Amino acid sequence: MPYKWDTVAASGTNDAVIGWHLMLWPHRSLSPEGFVTFFSITFLLLLVPLFAVLGSPVLWGLLPFLMGTLALTWYLIRRSWRDGSLREDLLLDQDHIEVVRREPSGTEKSWQANPYWVRVKLHESGGPVENYLTLEGSGRMVEIGAFLSPEERISLYTDLTDRLARLGLRPR
């Protein structure tokens, strides 16, 4: 799952859990090693048509298009990686809940509220994505995990309501 919970412990109190930190990130289907492998194979396969025209003027007609294809592939995969640097952090404790969204451009958007008044909602339909997950509080509604799959949002909804219940903020 592209999210991970960490506990936040009070210092000097036998590591008693006082809250949680949730990190969410988009799927990364291609590792850096996979990128090198994919790009190398693509380069070699683009060279195959050039072997038939080596030594002829046709080579110079094909070469710009093949190298342009290679450059565009490089750019688009690197752009996809940069866009995948999106991250959401949720901090939850007895007195405070905060969501910070870090965009690939480096900008941050944050929302905070008293967790006692926060409502976690899973919109099975009617949202921009299936199983749209939102938090409502302090007069605002924020989405969380829009880049997760519908099944992962259901799992996150269950985890989040369970942790709010463990803090005594919701009935179990």
pLDDT in tens, 57-100: 999 999 999 999 999 999 999 888 888 888 999 999 888 999 99
Looking at the structure of the chain, the number of domains it has is 2
Angle at alpha carbon of residue 122, lines to 112 and 132, rounded to 5° = 85
Q: What is the pLDDT of residues 105-128, one digit of tens each?
A: 889 999 999 998 899 999 988 778
Phi then psi dihedrals of residue 93, to 5 deg: -145, -175
Using CA atoms, how far apart are residues 115 and 94, in angstroms rounded to an integer?
7
Q: Are 78 and 70 in contact (CB under 8 A)?
A: no
- Contact indicator for 24, 51 with CB cutoff of 8 Å: no
Instruction: Looking at the structure, tell me whether residues 91 and 160 fall in a common domain.
Output: yes
Q: Which of 83, 101, 122 is the last residue of a domain?
A: 83
- Report residue 80 as tokens: 């996809």
CATH of the domain at 126: 2.30.29
pLDDT at 169 (0 to 100): 66
pLDDT at residue 171 greater than cutoff 60? no
Residues 11 and 95 in one domain: yes
